[in-house]
Every structure is written in structure tokens, then in C-alpha cells.
């Protein structure tokens, strides 16, 4: 299938938009159930403690209290795993107990009566403090996470050798390399050695992770705020200790996730377990904005150091990267290794070494956040690239272009192949659209107190996987029902990928219905709606199911009208003979025939390689029409890369330190564009989040008590209308990736990193080109830099 | 003192007692007693408690008179969502930070999380559910948000639309800059601002004509 599409690449209206503008779209907190109780949580006031006594007897005796959940009621976990309720809380705000009562006020009053005796244990917020000899461990079992909790301490000599302003290079937990790094540095015309810091930031999705649950006939019904639906089932079922088929997961709309709701999170079990204790009565756990800060996840911060060797033409000969990651208290996320992978691909260093260690901290749990690792390393690396370009006298776009991968680019320690790279083209398109050659002349020009800076940034994320299933049913009403197990977090890709089915079957989109939002609607096993995955991965799975349905349509036509299946084609909602188009049957007729024929045609015989959830769903719809169902067994020879490129002009007020982003162009390399209008919204929206990463948002702690000082929206402000350009521009390379039947790749994540990197570069550019080596670049930093004063904190200080 | 020694000394210095003192100084540890509502929609809640007694009042919501029991400290957002079933008004922060709960009170946008229900008794309250015409015909502002594909996750969309309706009532021909200013109290974490502004500008066209 290639090229001449009727639907792919054209705008359409996703089926959930009407509900979103009328208020009819339902999110987890919008569901009601008879006799619904409300839950409130007792959360830890200490960053690390051990419960010595938890007395809930007064709460139990209160009128209106129906159920109480304590750590005794939830499964024990291994060190490094996150419990549902903590006996040894590891961060301020971690849930310890929960109460369900007839209303929230009663539940909260009951929580206030709980007697909690908590023994304070050692705690730490800055990873380097924990790595020092004798430094505190965030977890009694150790201070480093790598497939379990371990302990690594650096020596006093490590710290002394680095001095105060360079990252010490002590024992890593992870190390890999390729090529001859030392030889690479010897060949270099310029070697830079830079220490950098990137912040931890909360996701702060607009919808807090409220959930409502009840039990009926042995099944748990859970209304949850999730990015993924089908893929979240095994994890949540396991949390609840039930079979997957006994969980009905409902998530029709999700008010943003950005990685924080990619799969089931332990707190989802709280209302479900309270409900079970309350005899199945519905329990609504409304999560507050403050609680969303505590257990709503955040991005890991880095303290890093990179040595880079450049040839005189800008090509990177050697790169030596060390990242210390703030891991949070539990298993966290592999941002630091992702970052290394991204560097190995985006700049194609001729030789490279990576070392890293992810250090446990008594701060909120980490998870993936849009471009986890890839985006913060882009914001750290790109200004350093600019520094090299200046010293070598090379244009800043040119130094990126000379290092950027082509289709033969390689990724990671094992230098694995990629499926396609149009990163150079994306740079060209962006430079042209932005007017780089003209705009860069504005660099450093001053008007009043405002100095102009321009910048370019690149970012990467892998963008696709395989092995999932598609399920479509053509029913006697003539409609094609496309079962979609993705979540609906606002990217519309659950619907965009469904367009592939219509394209394959040659059926008008109006004749298709996307079935999504609840496992009760019989969903196929589906990838997580995360990791820039859906567009590539699920367009393949849906393609596979559509091809299966088409084959069955052709076979039924041949059975009824004569000839062989290959004589028939499907288009316009009919199946017809290629040479005599009057010999045809409608989809409605074919569906009825499939039901009569039974067997594979109506889902009673299924392919042997389907994933178990798909088997259950296909069995549930069997006999209702022509069932197309298949596993995605298409080839994928390499990592699927998505790239984003951003060009930006900023105005830096050297009297107030305020940075205005005044012009932005974003470019996506996402393969074939499925839905242009929506892609534009992603490119620009991702950039807005990038501005927040580069300029505004951060975690702040009082290191003495691990007290979080930036917990709410107003203390870690996401960009508003007034922080972004009035007009934003975008484009896409729109060249197909060979590993996808329509050429699509995902792209959500790098769109943010490219913007963050471009802004970090542009602010530095306005002030003479010296990189800040820290994000976010806040007004105080701008003022210090503009006035040539030292910054108010040391280069490695975090959470400030 | 070396840096390492300094750190160790610091660690020693933080006794449990000192820790608790600091936490108290930092402002009342972590209480769950915020963001609370006493609701009676289940029919099971006690009618009188420390939280106060519910009173039957009349509200004008979306052009209809609705009679509803409210406690004196009840917020409009809660009444709308949990008493009147109008769940299109979203709660993103419940502290007047995000604007997801924006409704119109006498055509002026307000954060309904921060308005007490009993204070709007004699006023016209309009929510997202009150915009569409008979048979679900979209309000021109809603239609514009559809045509420009304004929403991403959609959670902030009702609030964005309510602020737009209010803007266009007092200024039918806003510039893009004026629109950004008028909607700046409505956060969008997806960052859909460019597309929302496109929607506002198109809505102004639809309303004019």
C-alpha cells in the first residue's frame, strides 16, 4: 500500500471532539454510581519514615465511615517497587492509609483522627549527597536503582578530583562504549568539557488522576485516568490480585498524561480495594492538585558531564557522557540511558562512551515524561554544540547537519540500524521556513532593554514497536467497527490509526465507527499509548486486521459470485469483480454471509498467534459479523526514529530577566503524515511544553527537610497564552518510513525536546553564546549572565 | 572543614525533633483536609454535621431555575458537578489556578471552584452545557473550536470556550493579542494555545456573521 490515499494525509474530525466542546465527554470524575462513597488519603508528612503505629480505631467508629485501608491490606513489595500504601513512606505526600465514607468531609475528618507514629529515617534530595562517602540512602536497602536497589558510594578522591564545579566521575552503575574514544579525542581539533544540570518537573496534567471503582458479580469496574486502556489491564489486574478478564477498565477520555498515566499506577488500586472492603459499593477517589504533585509522577533530573571532541568541520569524533539521575524513591525510569541512546543517534559520534548512575531520592516517583531523557539531554547538549560551532566558526545549523544521521545512521552501544531518518531534511525545511539566514543576523541586536537571540534545536525519540493485534468487525448494518485499545489522551491517534482500516477496505470514513474507551467493548491487545508509539505500531496492527477482513470479503464474494478471491476488489463500501463491477456485494451482505458461514469468517476460528486479550475480545464479538483479526507480523528491521526540529527567536529583557518567545517553527520527521491538522497541534503544543522545560518549570526542595516548595501550578508555572508566540508555525518532512505499511512513524515526544533545546540555545545566543548548562533558564540566571555576575548557586546544585 | 565533613555534620544536626519543628514552620505538614465537599446526591449523607446544614435555594442555571440543597461553604463547581449533574465544568486544581472550571455569571467568566453557590442566587449562571441550541446545534464558538480542532485532551476546553463566549460578548472583534489576554486565565497543559486562538478568531467570524 503506498502513495495514493483517499484518507491518509487528509484532515478529519475525530469522533470525540464533539463531546469535548459540549461538555459531554466524560472523564473519570464525571461518572456516578448509586451509593457512591468518597475516599480521602492519609499521606506522609516525612520524606522517609517507618510507620511504628497506625491507629485507625477512632476513624472506624465514626458515623459515615464505611471502609479503611492500611498498609496491612495491600501486597508487600520488594525494595524499589512502589507500594499501594506505604509502611515505609519514601517521600512527602506518599499515601499511607485511605478512608471511604459517605462524603468527602466525613472521609477527611476520619483521616484527621488517624493516629500515626512515624519514625524519621535518613533522607536525601540531591543525588550527589547520596553518592558521597557516608551520605544518606533514600531507601534502607540502598541508594541506587538498577533492576533492583543497590548501593554505590563514590570516594572522597572522586569528589576532590572534580572540584566543586565539575561533575565527579565516580563508579557508574551502567557503562557502555563503542569505537576508540581516546583516539577520537586525539583526532579532535576542539575538545569541550561541560558540566550541566537539568531539573525534575511534574507532569501536572490538567486532569488529576481521579478514579472510581466498584465490584459487581466478581468483576472490578474501574473508571480511570489513563493513556492506555488495553495495555494497562495486566498491571492493574495484578495490583488487585484478580484475573485480567475480571477487570472492566473504563477510560473514554483522559485529561492529559504525557507519560504519567502510560500504564496502571499503584494508587489506582486504592478506590478498588476500598470498594471491595465496602462490599463492592462504588468509591470515588478524587485526587487533588497537591496530591497530583505528590504521586502524579515527574521527570527525572540530571547532573551530567560531557566531553566532546570535534573535527574542524564540526563532525564529532568522540563523546564521553556521564549522567547522574535523580531517580525518585522507586524503580523510576531510564531517562539517563535513553539520553545516551539519543546522543548516540542524533549526533552519530564516531566513538562514544556512556556512564551513568540513577540515584534514589526522597522525592516524588519518576515516570516517563514526554521524551524521557531524550528531551532534557537535547536541552543540555544543543547549547554546547552551539559553543563548539562558534569556536570553530561554523554555522549552527551546519554543525547539526554534518552530525545528523541519514538512513544508515546507527543507534546505541550496539550500533543497531534505524528504519529511516529525514533529520537533515527537517533541518533544511525548518531553516527555510524560519528564514534562518536572515534571522540569525538579528542575534544580539538590542532594542531598549530587549536583546534578540535565535536558536535551533533537535530531538529524537524512538517511535514504534510491533507484535500487537488489530480487530475489526463488519456488521450486517454495513458499518465497519474498528476496535481500538489505545487510550484517548488527546493525540487523536486512536482514531487516526483507524483510518488505515478504512483505507485498506476502501470504505468511506462515515461508514466506520471507532470502538474505544472500555474493555467491555472488546479491545484487541494494544501497545501503550506512550513512547510516540501509536501511529507506527497501531497503524500496523490495524492494517493487519484490515487485510484479514479484506481477504475474507474477497473470499465471500468469490463463493457467492464465482471466480477466485483475487478477482475481487473492495471500494466504496462494496466488494466487486475487477472486470465486471456489477458483480458485487455490499459490506452489509458480506457481513450477513460471514455470520451464516461461521468459522473464521465470523470469528469462531481464530489465528493461533493472537495475544490472549485479543482472543477473548474476538470470541466476544464472534458471530456478530465479518471479523477481521490479526497479529502484526510485519517486518521491522531496526529502531524507528522520530525526530523534531525547532527554530526559535527570543527577546531577552536584560533589565528584568524575562524571556519572550516571539517566533517558532517546528518540523516533524514522522514519516507519512496521517492527520495534518492534528499533527500541527502536536508540533505546536509539544513546543509549548518545551518552553516550560527550558524556561519555567522545576522542582524546588528545602534540602534540610526535603520539603517541596514548588508543588502547585503557580509555583512551577506551565506556559500560558502569554508565554508563547501569538502565531506558531510548523511543517513536516512527510516522507514514508519503509517499516510501516502507510509509512507512518510516531512523533509526540521530540517535538517538545526540539523546542526546549532551541530556546536554551536562543537565550544563550542573545547573551553572547555562553551556554547556561542548566535548565530552566530563569530570570535570575539571565540577569546574572547579562551582568557578568556569577550565578547564585553552584553548577551542580539541584532543586533550586 | 572538608565538604564531606560539612555534609556529615549537617546530617547529624538534623535530629528528628528539629525536623518536625522545621516541617511545622514550613506550614502545617500534609493534611488531606483540603478540597473537600459534603455531598448529598447519594441520598446517604447526613443532612447536618460540623460542616453545616444544607439549605434549599433556587439557582438560575442555563436559563432554567434549579432548586438545590447547598451548604453555606459549598462552591459553585461542586453544586454544578455533583448536585446538578453538569459535569462539563471540570476541576483541574480547585484553587483558582487553572481555569478549567470557568463558567459565566451574568456573562462574566468566573472560576466556579472559587465562587460560593449561595452568592449566585439572583444571577444567571451559564455552563458549557448551556451553549448548544435546540437539538444539540452547536453554539458558534463551539463550532469554531471543532472546525479549528482546538482541543487536544479536552479537559480545559469547556473553560476555554466559556472564556471565549464572554470575550466575544464584550468585544466582537478581538485581535489575536486581545484573545490571548482574555484567555490567559485558562491553562492548557497540552499547549494547544495556537489552535485555541485560531478557534477564537474563527468564532468571532461566525458570531459576526
What average pLDDT score do residues A91-113 get? 97
B23 touching chain A per CB within 8 A: yes
Q: Is the pLDDT of residue B48 over 50?
A: no
d(CA B71, CA B62): 21
**Alpha carbon A779 to chain centroid, angstroms:** 28
Predicted confidence at residue A603, as pLDDT, reads: 98
Count of pairs with CB atoms under 8 A, one residue in A, one in B: 268
Q: Each residue of A362-396: pLDDT tens digit? A: 999 999 999 999 999 999 999 999 999 999 999 99
Q: Is the pLDDT of residue A702 over 80?
A: yes
Residue written as grid cell 497503524: A539
Q: Is the pLDDT of residue B7 over 50?
A: no
Q: Best interface-test mutation with B: which of A21, A26, A534 has the largest number of B CBs within 10 A? A: A21
B157 touching chain A per CB within 8 A: yes
Q: Each residue of B122-170: pLDDT tens digit? A: 999 999 999 999 999 999 999 999 999 999 999 999 999 999 999 999 9
Predicted confidence at residue B1, as pLDDT, reads: 38
Q: Which domains does chain A have, with CATH numbers?
A: 28-121+211-285 (3.90.1170.50), 299-464+638-786 (3.30.365.10), 466-631 (3.30.365.10)
Predicted confidence at residue B51, as pLDDT, reads: 57
Q: What sign for the dihedral angle of Cα B199, B200, B205, B207? A: positive
Predicted confidence at residue B54, as pLDDT, reads: 85
Interchain pair B192, A112: CB under 8 A = no
Q: Best interface-test mutation with A: which of B101, B153, B164, B187 has the largest number of A CBs within 10 A? A: B153
What average pLDDT score do residues A175-192 get? 98
What average pLDDT score do residues A34-47 get? 97
B48 touching chain A per CB within 8 A: no
B156 touching chain A per CB within 8 A: yes
Q: Each residue of A232-270: pLDDT tens digit? A: 999 999 999 999 999 999 999 999 999 999 999 999 999
Q: Is the pLDDT of residue B33 over 50?
A: no
Residue written as grid cell 570535534: A310
Residue written as grid cell 560531557: A306
Percentage of chain A beyond pLDDT 90 is 99
Interchain pair A129, B31: CB under 8 A = no
Partners of B176 on chain A (C-beta within 8 Å) are 726-727
Cell of A40: 480521602
Cα-flanking dihedrals φ and ψ of residue A277, to 5°? -65, -30
Predicted confidence at residue A2, as pLDDT, reads: 56
Output the CATH code of domain B134-208: 1.10.150.120
What average pLDDT score do residues A274-295 get? 98
Output the CATH code of domain B52-88+106-130: 3.10.20.30
Computed over every residue of chain A, the mean pLDDT equals 97
**Residue B171 Cα, gap to closest chain A Cα (Å):** 18
Q: What sign for the dihedral angle of Cα A736, A739, A741, A747? A: negative
Predicted confidence at residue B53, as pLDDT, reads: 79
Predicted confidence at residue A385, as pLDDT, reads: 98
Q: Is the pLDDT of residue A181 over 90?
A: yes
Q: Is the pLDDT of residue A766 over 70?
A: yes
Q: Is the pLDDT of residue A619 over 90?
A: yes
Q: How many CA atoms lie within 13 A of A593 on its CB side?
A: 17
Q: Best interface-test mutation with A: which of B189, B196, B201 has the largest number of A CBs within 10 A? A: B189
Q: Is the pLDDT of residue B31 over 80?
A: no
Peptide bond into A776 cis (omega under 30): yes
Domain ranges of chain B: 52-88+106-130, 134-208
Question: Among partner residues B42, B89, B189, which is closest to A718 by beta-carbon distance?
Answer: B189
User: Going by DSSP bridges, is the β-strand pair A641-653/A450-462 parallel, antiparallel, or unpaired?
Assistant: antiparallel
Predicted confidence at residue B209, as pLDDT, reads: 83
Q: Is the pLDDT of residue A512 over 80?
A: yes
B167 touching chain A per CB within 8 A: no
Q: Best interface-test mutation with A: which of B190, B195, B202, B203 has the largest number of A CBs within 10 A? A: B190
> Beta-carbon neighbour count of residue A11 at 10 Å?
11
Interchain pair A207, B92: CB under 8 A = yes
Identify the band that residue B52 occupies on the pLDDT scale cut at 50, 70 and 90.
low
Interchain pair A726, B11: CB under 8 A = no
Identify the band that residue B35 occupies on the pLDDT scale cut at 50, 70 and 90.
very low
**Alpha carbon A130 to chain centroid, angstroms:** 28
Residue of chain B nearest A206, judged by CA positions: B92
Q: Is the pLDDT of residue A610 over 60?
A: yes
ipTM above 0.95, yes or no: yes
Identify the band that residue B43 occupies on the pLDDT scale cut at 50, 70 and 90.
very low
Residue of chain B nearest A15, judged by CA positions: B146
Q: Is the pLDDT of residue B15 over 60?
A: no
B172 CB-contact burial (10 Å; exposed 0-12 / middle 13-18 / buried 19+):
exposed
Partners of A208 on chain B (C-beta within 8 Å) are 92
Q: Each residue of A286-339: pLDDT tens digit? A: 999 999 999 999 999 999 999 999 999 999 999 999 999 999 999 999 999 999
Amino acid at each position: 500500500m503506498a502513495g495514493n490515499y483517499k484518507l491518509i494525509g487528509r484532515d478529519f474530525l475525530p469522533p470525540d471532539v464533539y463531546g469535548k466542546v459540549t461538555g459531554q465527554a466524560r472523564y473519570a470524575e464525571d461518572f456516578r454510581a448509586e451509593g457512591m462513597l468518597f475516599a480521602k488519603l492519609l499521606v506522609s508528612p516525612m520524606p522517609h519514615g517507618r510507620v511504628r503505629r497506625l491507629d485507625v480505631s477512632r476513624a472506624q467508629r465514626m458515623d459515615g465511615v464505611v471502609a479503611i485501608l492500611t498498609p496491612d491490606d495491600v501486597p508487600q513489595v520488594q525494595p524499589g517497587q512502589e507500594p499501594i500504601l506505604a509502611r515505609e513512606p519514601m517521600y512527602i505526600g506518599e499515601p499511607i492509609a485511605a478512608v471511604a465514607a459517605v462524603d468527602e468531609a466525613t472521609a477527611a475528618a476520619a483521616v484527621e483522627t488517624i493516629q500515626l507514629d512515624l519514625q524519621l529515617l535518613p533522607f536525601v534530595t540531591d543525588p550527589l549527597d547520596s553518592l558521597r562517602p557516608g551520605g544518606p540512602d533514600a531507601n534502607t536497602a540502598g541508594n541506587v536503582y538498577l533492576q533492583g536497589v543497590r548501593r554505590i558510594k563514590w570516594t572522597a578522591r572522586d569528589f576532590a578530583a572534580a572540584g566543586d564545579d565539575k561533575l565527579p566521575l565516580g563508579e557508574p552503575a551502567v557503562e557502555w562504549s563503542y569505537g576508540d574514544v581516546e583516539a577520537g579525542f586525539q583526532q579532535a581539533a576542539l575538545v569541550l568539557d561541560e558540566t550541566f544540570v537539568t531539573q525534575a518537573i511534574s507532569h501536572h496534567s490538567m486532569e488529576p488522576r481521579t478514579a472510581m471503582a466498584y465490584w459487581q458479580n466478581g468483576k472490578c469496574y474501574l473508571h480511570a485516568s489513563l493513556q492506555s486502556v488495553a495495555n494497562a489491564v495486566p498491571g492493574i489486574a495484578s495490583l488487585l490480585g484478580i484475573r485480567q478478564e475480571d477487570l472492566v477498565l473504563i477510560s473514554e477520555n483522559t485529561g492529559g498524561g504525557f507519560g504519567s498515566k502510560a500504564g496502571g499506577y499503584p494508587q489506582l488500586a486504592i478506590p478498588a480495594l476500598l470498594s471491595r472492603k465496602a462490599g463492592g459499593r462504588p468509591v470515588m477517589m478524587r485526587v487533588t492538585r497537591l496530591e497530583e504533585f505528590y504521586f502524579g509522577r515527574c521527570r527525572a533530573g540530571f547532573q551530567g558531564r560531557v566531553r566532546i571532541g570535534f573535527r574542524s568541520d564540526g563532525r564529532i569524533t568522540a563523546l564521553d557522557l556521564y549522567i547522574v539521575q535523580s531517580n525518585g524513591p522507586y524503580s523510576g525510569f531510564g531517562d539517563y540511558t535513553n539520553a545516551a541512546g539519543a546522543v548516540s543517534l542524533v549526533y552519530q559520534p564516531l566513538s562514544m562512551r556512556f556512564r551513568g548512575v540513577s540515584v534514589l531520592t526522597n522525592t516524588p516517583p519518576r515516570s516517563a515524561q514526554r521524551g524521557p531523557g531524550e528531551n532534557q539531554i537535547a536541552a543540555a547538549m544543543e547549547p554546547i554544540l552551539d559553543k563548539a560551532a562558534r569556536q570553530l566558526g561554523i554555522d549552527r545549523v551546519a554543525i547539526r547537519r554534518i552530525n545528523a544521521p541519514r538512513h544508515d545512521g546507527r543507534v546505541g552501544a550496539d550500533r543497531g540500524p534505524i528504519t529511516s531518518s529525514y533529520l537533515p531534511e527537517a533541518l533544511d525545511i525548518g531553516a527555510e521556513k524560519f528564514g534562518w539566514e536572515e534571522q540569525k543576523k538579528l542575534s544580539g541586536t538590542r532594542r531598549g532593554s530587549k536583546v534578540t537571540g535565535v536558536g535551533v534545536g533537535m530531538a529524537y525519540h524512538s517511535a514504534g514497536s510491533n507484535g500487537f493485534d488489530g480487530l475489526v468487525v463488519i456488521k450486517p448494518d454495513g458499518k465497519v467497527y474498528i476496535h481500538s485499545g489505545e487510550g484517548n489522551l488527546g493525540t487523536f491517534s486512536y482514531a487516526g490509526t483507524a483510518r488505515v482500516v478504512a483505507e485498506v477496505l476502501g470504505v468511506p470514513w462515515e461508514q466506520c465507527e471507532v470502538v474505544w474507551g472500555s474493555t467491555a467493548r472488546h479491545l484487541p491487545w494494544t501497545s501503550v499509548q506512550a513512547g510516540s508509539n501509536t501511529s507506527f505500531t497501531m497503524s500496523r496492527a490495524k492494517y493487519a486486521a484490515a487485510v484479514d477482513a479484506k481477504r475474507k470479503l474477497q473470499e465471500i464474494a468469490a463463493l457467492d459470485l464465482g471466480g477466485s478471491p483475487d478477482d475481487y476488489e473492495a471500494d466504496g463500501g462494496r466488494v466487486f469483480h475487477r472486470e465486471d463491477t456489477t458483480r458485487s456485494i455490499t459490506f452489509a451482505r458480506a457481513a450477513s454471509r460471514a455470520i451464516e458461514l461461521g468459522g473464521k469468517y465470523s470469528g469462531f476460528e481464530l489465528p493461533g498467534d493472537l495475544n490472549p486479550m485479543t482472543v477473548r475480545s474476538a470470541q466476544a464479538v464472534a458471530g456478530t459479523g465479518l471479523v477481521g483479526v490479526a497479529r502484526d507480523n510485519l517486518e521491522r528491521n531496526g529502531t524507528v526514529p522520530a525526530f523534531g526540529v525547532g527554530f526559535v527567536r527570543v527577546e531577552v529583557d536584560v533589565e528584568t530577566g524575562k524571556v519572550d518567545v516571539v517566533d517558532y517553527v517546528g518540523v516533524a520527521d514522522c514519516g507519512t503524515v496521517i492527520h495534518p491538522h492534528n499533527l500541527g497541534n502536536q508540533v505546536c503544543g509539544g513546543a509549548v511544553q518545551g518552553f516550560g522545560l527550558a524556561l519555567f518549570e522545576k522542582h524546588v526542595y528545602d534540602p534540610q527537610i526535603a520539603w517541596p516548595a514548588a508543588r502547585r501550578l503557580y509555583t512551577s508555572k506551565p506556559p500560558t497564552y502569554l508565554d508563547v508566540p501569538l502565531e506558531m508555525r510548523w511543517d513536516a518532512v512527510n516522507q514514508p518510513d519503509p517499516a510501516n505499511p502507510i509509512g507512518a512513524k510516531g512523533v509526540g515526544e521530540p517535538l517538545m525536546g526540539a523546542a526546549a533545546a532551541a530556546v536554551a540555545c536562543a537565550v544563550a545566543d542573545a547573551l553572547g553564546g555562553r551556554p547556561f548548562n542548566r535548565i530552566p533558564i530563569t530570570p535570575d540566571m539571565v540577569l546574572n549572565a547579562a551582568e557578568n555576575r556569577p550565578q547564585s548557586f553552584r553548577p551542580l546544585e539541584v532543586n533550586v | 572543614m572538608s565538604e564531606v565533613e560539612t555534609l556529615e555534620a549537617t546530617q547529624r544536626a538534623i535530629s528528628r525533633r528539629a525536623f518536625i519543628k522545621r516541617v511545622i514552620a514550613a506550614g502545617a505538614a500534609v493534611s488531606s483536609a483540603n478540597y473537600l465537599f459534603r455531598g448529598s446526591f447519594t441520598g446517604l449523607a447526613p443532612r447536618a454535621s460540623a460542616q453545616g446544614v444544607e439549605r434549599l435555594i433556587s439557582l438560575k442555571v442555563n436559563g432554567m431555575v434549579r432548586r438545590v440543597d447547598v451548604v453555606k461553604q459549598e462552591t459553585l463547581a461542586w453544586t454544578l458537578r455533583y448536585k446538578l449533574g453538569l459535569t462539563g465544568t471540570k476541576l483541574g486544581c480547585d484553587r483558582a489556578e487553572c481555569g478549567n472550571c470557568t463558567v459565566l455569571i451574568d456573562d462574566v467568566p468566573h472560576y466556579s471552584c472559587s465562587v460560593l453557590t449561595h452568592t449566585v442566587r439572583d444571577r444567571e449562571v451559564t455552563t458549557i452545557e448551556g451553549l448548544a441550541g435546540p437539538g444539540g446545534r452547536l453554539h458558534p464558538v463551539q463550532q469554531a473550536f471543532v472546525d479549528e480542532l482546538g482541543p487536544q485532551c479536552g479537559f480545559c476546553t469547556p473553560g476555554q470556550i466559556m472564556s471565549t463566549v464572554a470575550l466575544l460578548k464584550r468585544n466582537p472583534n478581538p485581535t489575536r493579542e486581545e484573545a490571548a489576554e482574555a484567555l490567559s486565565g485558562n491553562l492548557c497543559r497540552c499547549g494547544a494555545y495556537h489552535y485555541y486562538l485560531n478557534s477564537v478568531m474563527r468564532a468571532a467570524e461566525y458570531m459576526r456573521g
